[in-house]
Amino acid sequence: MEREMLERALEYADLTSYQADAYLTLLEMGYAPAIEVGRESSVPVSQVYDVLRSLESKGYAETIDREKLYVRPCDPAEAMADLETRGELLNDAAIAVRERYEAPVRMDSRVGVTKRAETATENARSLIEDAETVVEIAGTFEQLESLEPALRAARDRGVVVRVSVYVGDAHSSSAIALNTSSASPGTSKSW
C-alpha cells in the first residue's frame, strides 16, 4: 500500500494527518530523537512533541526521556487490532445495509373472510382510516363509491391511494353503474 493511502487509512482510524505522518515516519526510522521525526515528517517542529505524546496515549508510540526526547513505535498488534475490528464492523455494516436494501419491503396487510359485503366494507373503511402510507383496494363500483369519503380523507392525509374496480359481465349492475358514471371501463377514477 502506498504511503498516501496508508496515511489516509490511519486518518480514518482517528489519527490526525500530523499523527499519521509522524507514525509512518517513526515506523521507517525506528528508534529516533523526537526532533528528527519532526524534521523527516510534515509535522512542524513546534508541534512534534505534542503529536508524539498523543501517539503514545493512543498506543502507537513510546517516548523515552534522556538528554532529549526519543521515541519508538510500539508493537502495532494492539493498535491494529482496533483497526481490524473497526474494519470488520464497517464491512459487516456495509453487508447489512445491502441486505436490507435488497430485502423486500414488508408491508402491514390484513386479510379477512366475511359473509356479508357490508361487513367487508366497514372493515375496509376502518383500515383506510388507520392507514399511514398506502391503501390498495379492489371492489365493485358501489363498494368503492361507499368508501370514497374515507379514501379521499386518506389521500388528504398524504396516504397513497390505489383503487381497482371490479367489473363483472356486461349484464351486471356494477358494469352498468360504471358505464353511467364519468369513468368508462378500463379507466381509473382519481380520488
- 88 in a domain, yes or no? no
- 155 in a domain, yes or no? yes
Domain shared by 121 and 70, yes or no = no
State yes or no: pLDDT of 43 exceeds 80.
Answer: yes
Rounded average pLDDT over 103-111: 66
- 33 in a domain, yes or no? yes
Rounded average pLDDT over 6-12: 85
State yes or no: pLDDT of 80 exceeds 60.
Answer: yes
Q: Give the residue, 131 or 103, on which the prediction is more confident.
A: 131
pLDDT of residue 110: 62
- 187 in a domain, yes or no? no
CB atoms within 10 A of CB 163: 17
Rounded average pLDDT over 102-129: 77
Q: Can you say how many angstroms the Cα of residue 112 is from the centroid of all Cα atoms in its chain?
A: 35
Query: Which residue range(s) make up the domain with 122?
Result: 117-180
pLDDT of residue 174: 40
Domain shared by 71 and 121, yes or no = no
Domain shared by 72 and 136, yes or no = no
Rounded average pLDDT over 95-116: 75
For 112, counting Cβ atoms within 10 Å of its Cβ (0-12 exposed, 13-18 middle, 19+ buried), the class is exposed
State yes or no: pLDDT of 175 exceeds 70.
Answer: no
Q: What pTM does this model have?
A: 0.50
Task: Say how many domains are in the chain.
Answer: 2
Q: pLDDT confidence of 102, banded at 50, 70, 90?
A: confident
Could you tell me what percentage of the chain is helix, strand and coil, using 3-state DSSP and rounding each to the nearest 5? 55, 15, 30
Rounded to whole angstroms, how far apart are CA atoms 15 and 154?
Answer: 52
Strands 160-166 and 134-140: parallel
State yes or no: pLDDT of 112 exceeds 80.
Answer: no
- 111 in a domain, yes or no? no
pLDDT of residue 168: 72
pLDDT of residue 182: 32
- 124 in a domain, yes or no? yes
Please give the share of the chain, as a percent, with pLDDT higher than 70: 83
8: CATH = 1.10.10.10
Domain shared by 72 and 17, yes or no = yes
pLDDT of residue 75: 86
- 85 in a domain, yes or no? no
State yes or no: pLDDT of 176 exceeds 70.
Answer: no
State yes or no: pLDDT of 82 exceeds 60.
Answer: yes
Q: Which of 76, 100, 135 is the last residue of a domain?
A: 76
CB atoms within 10 A of CB 95: 10
- 186 in a domain, yes or no? no
Q: Which of 54, 76, 98 is the last residue of a domain?
A: 76
Q: Which of 23, 54, 76 is the last residue of a domain?
A: 76
Rounded to whole angstroms, how far apart are CA atoms 189 and 163?
Answer: 8
Please give the share of the chain, as a percent, with pLDDT higher than 90: 27
Rounded average pLDDT over 51-58: 92
- Mean pLDDT of the residues in the chain: 81
Q: Answer whether 177's CB lies under 8 Å from 183's CB.
A: no
